[in-house]
């Protein structure tokens, strides 16, 4: 096996974030250096507590956790996505408290230390609103420039919105931050709704975990998946749930899972109807230099197999 890719994960757990974190920790292709948390699916207090408890559940209290921004840079009418993820962010699944709190350094200071302290480039996987990432880029552009790349779950090129008809949740939540990140000059892979809406799992995919002697990891996964499935059934009328954030992690594990196209991407943050929309110049109409590699197609079957098999292995290894 070649040297693992070093990653930091900026996240707002969040059910699909939690599964994405599990996928990352279960993947020998990755070395997870730190988690940083942001307000999004639920408030920062919950996302930080959820990150700490998830790591404790998975026996990884050694991984740094830094708390970041609770509110967006500018926008003041963003609201958590409680319908999708529950008021606590994990669909009501109760996890054991962790024996520690977040690191005294905040998210940005921690990111700076971790990126500067690594003797090889680090990939930043961003699974929530881009507030912390924008703060890093603003505070320390020299450190951001050392990143291998940013792989972010957010936006859409042809499939535009899940929060509004024009906007995906993470970009909608903090569009000013997203605009600054896309303009930062750091290589970006954008994993948006074009591909994440196809990156689904069905309840039956998790049957390997539904045993009489299910351990705490299996119980947590099934509890979250059940909540997420109920939400999808009620709102979309399907049992297939989009594993948005896991696809972003999977793209680092196996880049061949998606086909990307370089394109200029900007973010609309003033439009009354389109605030939070990613404007993706797929046909190079404006003749700007590309700012991101935009994922347009996905091998959804291979992704689903990777996610479920890795999470099942993780559960077995912790029994």
| Site residues, ligand BDR (CB under 6 A) | 14, 16-17, 41, 81, 84, 127-128, 153, 162, 168-170, 244-245
Minimal distance in Å, beta carbon 117 to Ca ion? 26
Which region among 12-20, 28-36, 52-60, 197-205 touches Ca ion (by CB under 5 A)? 12-20
By CB under 5 A, residue 128 contacts Ca ion: yes
Q: Are 54 and 18 in contact (CB under 8 A)?
A: yes
Number of H helices, E strands in the chain: 12, 11
By CB under 5 A, residue 68 contacts Ca ion: no
Residue 91 burial class via C-beta count within 10 angstroms: exposed 0-12, middle 13-18, buried 19 and up: buried
Nearer to ligand BDR, 143 or 170 (CB): 170
Please report how many Cα atoms fall inside a 13 Å half-sphere around the Cα of residue 246, on the Cβ side.
29
169 binds, among Ca ion, ligand BDR, none (CB under 5 to 8 A by kind): ligand BDR
Closest CA to 129 of 46, 245, 30, 7: 245
Q: How many CB atoms lie within 10 A of CB 172?
A: 26
Minimal distance in Å, beta carbon 108 to ligand BDR? 20
161 binds, among ligand BDR, Ca ion, none (CB under 5 to 8 A by kind): none
Minimal distance in Å, beta carbon 190 to ligand BDR? 12
Nearer to ligand BDR, 6 or 85 (CB): 85
By CB under 5 A, residue 171 contacts Ca ion: no
The span from the CA of 279 to the CA of 158, in Å, is 10
Minimal distance in Å, beta carbon 245 to ligand BDR? 5
The span from the CA of 319 to the CA of 315, in Å, is 6
**What is the side-by-side order of every strand in the sheet holding 277-281?**
64-67, 30-37, 5-11, 123-126, 149-153, 188-191, 292-298, 258-268, 277-281
Nearer to ligand BDR, 102 or 130 (CB): 130
162 binds, among Ca ion, ligand BDR, none (CB under 5 to 8 A by kind): ligand BDR
Work out whether strand 30-37 and strand 64-67 pair parallel, antiparallel, or are unpaired: parallel
Nearer to Ca ion, 17 or 168 (CB): 17
Does a cis peptide bond (omega within 30 degrees of 0) precede residue 235?
no
Q: How many CB atoms lie within 10 A of CB 234?
A: 9
Q: Clarify whether 288 is annotated catalytic.
A: no
By CB under 5 A, residue 127 contacts Ca ion: yes
Among the options 85, 197, 227, 244, which is catalytic? 244
- How many residues line the site for Ca ion (CB under 5 A)? 6
The length of the chain, given as a count of residues: 319
Nearer to Ca ion, 15 or 114 (CB): 15
Nearer to Ca ion, 11 or 143 (CB): 11
What are 201-207's contacts with CB under 8 Å, separation 24+?
201/225, 201/240, 201/241, 201/243, 201/304, 201/307, 201/308, 202/239, 202/240, 203/229, 203/239, 205/304, 205/308, 206/308
168 binds, among Ca ion, ligand BDR, none (CB under 5 to 8 A by kind): ligand BDR
Closest residue to bound ligand BDR by CB: 169
194 binds, among ligand BDR, Ca ion, none (CB under 5 to 8 A by kind): none
The span from the CA of 188 to the CA of 180, in Å, is 12
Minimal distance in Å, beta carbon 15 to ligand BDR? 7
Q: Which residues are catalytic?
A: 244
List interacting residues with Ca ion (CB under 5 A): 12, 14, 17, 127-128, 245
């Amino acid at each position: 096996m070649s040297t693992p890719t070093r990653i930091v994960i900026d996240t707002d757990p969040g059910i699909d974030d939690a599964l994405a974190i599990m996928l990352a920790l279960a993947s020998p292709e990755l070395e997870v250096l730190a988690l940083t948390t942001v307000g999004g699916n639920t408030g920062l207090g919950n996302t930080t507590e959820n990150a700490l408890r998830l790591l404790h559940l998975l026996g990884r209290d050694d991984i740094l956790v830094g708390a970041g921004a609770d509110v967006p840079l500018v926008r003041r009418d963003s609201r958590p996505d409680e319908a999708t993820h529950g008021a606590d962010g994990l669909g009501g699944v109760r996890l054991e408290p962790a024996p520690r709190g977040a690191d005294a350094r905040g998210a940005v200071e921690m990111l700076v230390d971790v990126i500067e302290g690594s003797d090889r480039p680090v990939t930043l996987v961003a699974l929530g609103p881009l507030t912390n990432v924008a703060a890093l880029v603003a505070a320390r552009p020299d450190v951001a420039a050392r990143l291998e790349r940013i792989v972010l779950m957010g936006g859409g090129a042809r499939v535009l919105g899940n929060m509004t008809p024009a906007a995906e949740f993470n970009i909608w939540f903090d569009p000013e931050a997203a605009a600054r990140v896309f303009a930062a000059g750091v290589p970006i892979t954008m994993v948006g709704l074009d591909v994440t809406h196809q990156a689904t799992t069905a309840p039956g995919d998790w049957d390997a975990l539904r045993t009489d002697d299910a351990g705490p990891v299996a119980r947590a996964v099934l509890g979250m998946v059940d909540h997420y499935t109920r939400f999808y059934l009620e709102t979309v009328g399907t049992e297939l749930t989009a594993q948005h954030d896991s696809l972003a992690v999977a793209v680092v594990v196996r880049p061949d899972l998606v086909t990307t196209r370089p394109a200029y991407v900007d973010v609309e943050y003033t439009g009354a109807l389109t605030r939070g929309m990613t404007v993706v110049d797929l046909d190079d109409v404006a003749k700007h230099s590309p700012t991101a590699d935009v994922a347009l197609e996905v091998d959804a079957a291979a992704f689903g197999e990777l996610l479920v098999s890795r999470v099942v292995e993780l559960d077995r290894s912790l029994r």
